[in-house]
Homo-oligomer: A and B are copies of this chain.
Amino acid sequence: MAEAMAKYGNDIKDLFEPESIAVIGASHETDKIGYKILNNIIRGGYRGRIYPVNPHGGEISGRTVYRSVEEIGEDVDVASIVIPAKFVPDAVAQCARKGVKYVQIITSGFSEIGNTEEERGIVAVAHESGMRVLGPNIFGLYSSRASLNSTFSATDIKPGRVAILTQSGALGIALIGKTAVENIGLSAIVSIGNKSDIDESDLLEYLIVNDDTRVILMYVEGVKEGERLIASLKRVTEKKPVVVIKSGRSKRGAMAAASHTGSLAGTDEIFDAIMKQCGVLRSDSIEEAFNWCTFLAYSPKPGGGKNVIITNGGGVGVLATDACEKFGIELYDDQAELKKAFDPVVPSFGSTKNPVDLTGGANSKDYDLALSVPLDSKDIGAAIALYCETATFDSASLVPMIEGTFRKYTDAGKPICYAAVGGEAVEEAIEKLRHRNIPVYGDVYPAVSCLGMLNRYDRYLREKSDAIDEADIDVASVERIIDGALAEGRKFLLANEGSAVMRAADVGIPESRIAGTIDLAVQFAEEIGYPLVLKVVSKDILHKSDAGGVALDIQNREEVVEAYEAIMHNCRRFNPDAHIEGIEVCEMVSKGVEIIVGARRDASFGPVVMCGFGGIYVEVMKDIAFRGFPFNRIEAMNMLKELRSFPLLMGVRGEARKDIDVLVDVMIKVGAVIRKCRRITDIEINPIVVYEQGKGVKAVDSRILIG
């Protein structure tokens, strides 16, 4: 938690690299978790001091057992607690008294089954003495730096470059097994469990500075302190890529996640958008995420330049080309250069076009030669090397060929991804190469997806900007409006109040005045100019159209009078008790591109801004984009570019470009309002009409909720 972090400083290093660890609940019964953890710590080669703790005392695995943590004569950095839930509070209190820095509570049976108070109590006791809590409801932690395996996993963990943070303990244990099978080395794996105190953000702070960690994989079910997580993720992705598997993507999945961890899943669209904003790569499947991590952990960053596909089979070449388009990988296209460079290595019936087809007759040497071309080219930044098992190429020679070319590419700082499709011999080659940490895949699509993720991450790094654009908002005015509405017991603002908020944020709105009499209405109409719209103003009539409270396209003085009378008549009939404050005489906005801009305070992530294709289509087309706020103009522009309807803003069929600059301003202004006026929970301008470049926007209708 943020306060705890601030209070105790960033000493999370001691959790991953403790000088001593106690196992409270250590057992000599080999099927008990209290045995397994102790045994893993010992077998894993941990170099610090190990203290088994158990009230029965005695010895386990030749080590003296302490009856309580307080009996231990020396300092204890970490205590792993594996005793039944009812004894945990007492053990935590003992640890606090002892001055333990971290407790990791393996035991389950706390907030995940509703025992929230008990869990809070434990954390409170811990914090009193400056102790931090990992868990409860976790499987422990592995740290390659300390050779520390304090999990109860049955599998040996291979040290390496991937760090895993998992909210699900059961899945985490299974993932440890799966990393072993897939030959994925880990720098750390941590189970976060109920996140009573330490959460992802705390752990990420350590992983940023831990040089062994080159890529981070997170399994997330729900986010608690989203604003802090955003900040941490942004800091991490500056240094290393992050892959996330977020469950609860579907509505039903979110419900299931909530019921099993008690976490709030939130809207998936917002999670998804914010991950993108933080440069985090998201996957739906474990195997895909593993593929990405292996590749990202061992590939150099792209240094620019386009990509080339080299293959011995046309079919896989085409499949790779398709996948490149899907993952936004640009293929090198200079036919003349390709011909010049590859002609010497491609037979006459092959192709020097990209994909470069060496044909089925290609052997190891042909690949070596062809793959040396991108190494010598300034314009080619990365290669996709594809191999289809053939009778002419001994699959056993795949291993030296791939190992050799991979080293050369790595030395040259160019990424290369390999797919090899075939039988037993190919599989064996892949396994051998993987064992040597060379990422090779058995299918084209997964291989290309890995390079795609590296490119996506690289693009994020190149395009990101930490600059924040904020807007000047007349906060005092807005606060006064909110005070007034709340004083009347309202949780929403009236149309004129909404307009006042827009004015306070300097968002263009149609000119309008509220008239209490027909004469005033006529006077205002003449001042504003025709055509006009007349609307009822009443807090008792929310849906004005339904009440017959709106008249459009008023062209002259006579029509003002008619419309005024008709609206009053309709509204009185609709709701005889309604208090009608007047009639709004409003400039009728001319046509333009209708956009929706909104902002809300998300339960997980705080201020979030939304934009989309406006009018009635927003519901139907679901063409919307989200971002966490604050952000800058570039990010706002990225949101607009994400919309399928973006070309409408750029002008289609010879129309002029619309005033995107002012629209971007509005997005930042709306974000600033929700950020600075914390009693506003929801703003929706729908539509905001965007005119040609230089002609600005008009926020036609704004709906603002307060609370």
Chain A interface residues toward B at CB < 8 A: 31, 33, 36, 109, 113, 152, 154-155, 166-171, 173-178, 180-181, 219, 221, 245, 247-253, 256-257, 259-261, 284-288, 312-319, 321-326, 331, 349, 351, 353, 355, 357, 360, 388-391, 421-427, 442-446, 616-617, 619-623, 644-645, 647-648, 652-653
Instruction: Specify which of B248, B316, B322, B360 is in contact with A249 (CB 8 Å cutoff).
Output: B322
* Beyond A253-B318, A285-B443, A617-B645, 11 extra complex contacts between A and B, CB < 8 Å: A168-B315, A174-B426, A178-B442, A180-B423, A247-B318, A252-B331, A256-B321, A284-B326, A285-B445, A616-B648, A621-B644
What are the 9 tightest A-B residue pairs by CB atom distance, in nearest-first order?
A177-B423, A168-B315, A170-B313, A250-B325, A260-B314, A285-B445, A171-B315, A253-B321, A247-B318
Question: In the assembly, what is the distance between CA of A406 and CA of B535, in Å?
Answer: 67
When distances are taken between beta carbons in the complex, the residues of chain B under 8 Å from A317 are 256, 260
Identify the closest chain B residue to A168 (Cβ).
Answer: B315
When distances are taken between beta carbons in the complex, the residues of chain B under 8 Å from A180 are 423-424
Q: Which of A323, A389, A653 has the most CB of B within 10 A?
A: A389
A645 B620 Cβ-Cβ under 8 A? yes
Identify the closest chain B residue to A176 (Cβ).
Answer: B423
Question: Chain A interface mostly helix, strand, loop or mixed?
Answer: helix
When distances are taken between beta carbons in the complex, the residues of chain B under 8 Å from A644 are 620-622
Are A326 and B177 CB-contacts (below 8 A) given A245-B319, A319-B245? no
A389 B173 Cβ-Cβ under 8 A? yes
Question: In the assembly, what is the distance between CA of A249 and CA of B322, in Å?
Answer: 6
Question: In the assembly, what is the distance between CA of A353 and CA of B255, in Å?
Answer: 11
When distances are taken between beta carbons in the complex, the residues of chain B under 8 Å from A259 are 351, 353
Question: In the assembly, what is the distance between CA of A175 and CA of B316, in Å?
Answer: 11
A315 B221 Cβ-Cβ under 8 A? yes
Q: Which of A315, A391, A427 has the most CB of B within 10 A?
A: A315
When distances are taken between beta carbons in the complex, the residues of chain B under 8 Å from A219 are 315
Question: In the assembly, what is the distance between CA of A75 and CA of B443, in Å?
Answer: 43
Instruction: Specify which of B221, B256, B421 is in contact with A175 (CB 8 Å cutoff).
Output: B421
A388 B170 Cβ-Cβ under 8 A? yes
- Expressed in whole angstroms, the minimum distance between the Cβ of A453 and any Cβ of chain B is 15
When distances are taken between beta carbons in the complex, the residues of chain B under 8 Å from A168 are 313-316
When distances are taken between beta carbons in the complex, the residues of chain B under 8 Å from A623 are 621
Question: In the assembly, what is the distance between CA of A645 and CA of B170, in Å?
Answer: 42
Are A171 and B313 CB-contacts (below 8 A) given A221-B318, A318-B221? yes
Identify the closest chain B residue to A622 (Cβ).
Answer: B644
B181 A427 Cβ-Cβ under 8 A? yes
Question: In the assembly, what is the distance between CA of A411 and CA of B31, in Å?
Answer: 37
When distances are taken between beta carbons in the complex, the residues of chain B under 8 Å from A325 are 249-253
- Expressed in whole angstroms, the minimum distance between the Cβ of A238 and any Cβ of chain B is 29
A33 B421 Cβ-Cβ under 8 A? no
Q: Which of A177, A353, A623 has the most CB of B within 10 A?
A: A177
Identify the closest chain B residue to A250 (Cβ).
Answer: B325
Identify the closest chain B residue to A654 (Cβ).
Answer: B546
When distances are taken between beta carbons in the complex, the residues of chain B under 8 Å from A251 are 325
- Expressed in whole angstroms, the minimum distance between the Cβ of A216 and any Cβ of chain B is 18
Are A170 and B442 CB-contacts (below 8 A) given A286-B421, A322-B250? no
B620 A424 Cβ-Cβ under 8 A? no
When distances are taken between beta carbons in the complex, the residues of chain B under 8 Å from A248 are 318, 322
Question: In the assembly, what is the distance between CA of A181 and CA of B442, in Å?
Answer: 11
Question: In the assembly, what is the distance between CA of A326 and CA of B622, in Å?
Answer: 17
- Expressed in whole angstroms, the minimum distance between the Cβ of A293 and any Cβ of chain B is 14
Question: In the assembly, what is the distance between CA of A286 and CA of B113, in Å?
Answer: 43
- Expressed in whole angstroms, the minimum distance between the Cβ of A30 and any Cβ of chain B is 11
Instruction: Specify which of B174, B285, B388 is in contact with A174 (CB 8 Å cutoff).
Output: B388
- Expressed in whole angstroms, the minimum distance between the Cβ of A317 and any Cβ of chain B is 6
When distances are taken between beta carbons in the complex, the residues of chain B under 8 Å from A444 are 285-286
When distances are taken between beta carbons in the complex, the residues of chain B under 8 Å from A318 are 221, 247-248, 253, 256-257, 260
When distances are taken between beta carbons in the complex, the residues of chain B under 8 Å from A152 are 391
B155 A616 Cβ-Cβ under 8 A? no
Are A178 and B423 CB-contacts (below 8 A) given A621-B621, A623-B621? yes
Question: In the assembly, what is the distance between CA of A622 and CA of B181, in Å?
Answer: 44
- Expressed in whole angstroms, the minimum distance between the Cβ of A563 and any Cβ of chain B is 21
- Expressed in whole angstroms, the minimum distance between the Cβ of A402 and any Cβ of chain B is 16
When distances are taken between beta carbons in the complex, the residues of chain B under 8 Å from A314 are 168, 170, 256-257, 260-261
When distances are taken between beta carbons in the complex, the residues of chain B under 8 Å from A424 are 155, 177, 180-181
A287 B443 Cβ-Cβ under 8 A? yes
Question: In the assembly, what is the distance between CA of A443 and CA of B422, in Å?
Answer: 22
Identify the closest chain B residue to A349 (Cβ).
Answer: B113
Question: In the assembly, what is the distance between CA of A617 and CA of B648, in Å?
Answer: 8
When distances are taken between beta carbons in the complex, the residues of chain B under 8 Å from A349 are 109, 113
Question: In the assembly, what is the distance between CA of A331 and CA of B173, in Å?
Answer: 27
B353 A256 Cβ-Cβ under 8 A? yes
Question: In the assembly, what is the distance between CA of A177 and CA of B326, in Å?
Answer: 27
Question: In the assembly, what is the distance between CA of A319 and CA of B168, in Å?
Answer: 11
A389 B319 Cβ-Cβ under 8 A? no
A260 B357 Cβ-Cβ under 8 A? yes
- Expressed in whole angstroms, the minimum distance between the Cβ of A312 and any Cβ of chain B is 7
Are A170 and B315 CB-contacts (below 8 A) given A33-B391, A154-B391, A653-B616? yes
Identify the closest chain B residue to A109 (Cβ).
Answer: B349
Instruction: Specify which of B171, B284, B360, B652 is in contact with A316 (CB 8 Å cutoff).
Output: B171
In the assembled complex, 17 residue pairs joining A and B whose CB atoms fall closer than 8 Å, in A order, are A166-B315, A170-B313, A174-B389, A174-B422, A176-B423, A177-B389, A221-B318, A250-B321, A253-B318, A256-B314, A257-B318, A260-B317, A261-B314, A617-B645, A620-B644, A621-B644, A621-B645
B313 A174 Cβ-Cβ under 8 A? yes
When distances are taken between beta carbons in the complex, the residues of chain B under 8 Å from A173 are 388-391
When distances are taken between beta carbons in the complex, the residues of chain B under 8 Å from A181 are 423-424, 426-427
Question: In the assembly, what is the distance between CA of A652 and CA of B171, in Å?
Answer: 43
A652 B322 Cβ-Cβ under 8 A? no
- Expressed in whole angstroms, the minimum distance between the Cβ of A152 and any Cβ of chain B is 6
Are A421 and B620 CB-contacts (below 8 A) given A170-B388, A351-B260? no
Question: In the assembly, what is the distance between CA of A177 and CA of B653, in Å?
Answer: 52
- Expressed in whole angstroms, the minimum distance between the Cβ of A614 and any Cβ of chain B is 13
Identify the closest chain B residue to A350 (Cβ).
Answer: B260
Question: In the assembly, what is the distance between CA of A259 and CA of B321, in Å?
Answer: 13
Instruction: Specify which of B285, B445, B620, B622 is in contact with A286 (CB 8 Å cutoff).
Output: B445
Identify the closest chain B residue to A177 (Cβ).
Answer: B423
- Expressed in whole angstroms, the minimum distance between the Cβ of A170 and any Cβ of chain B is 3
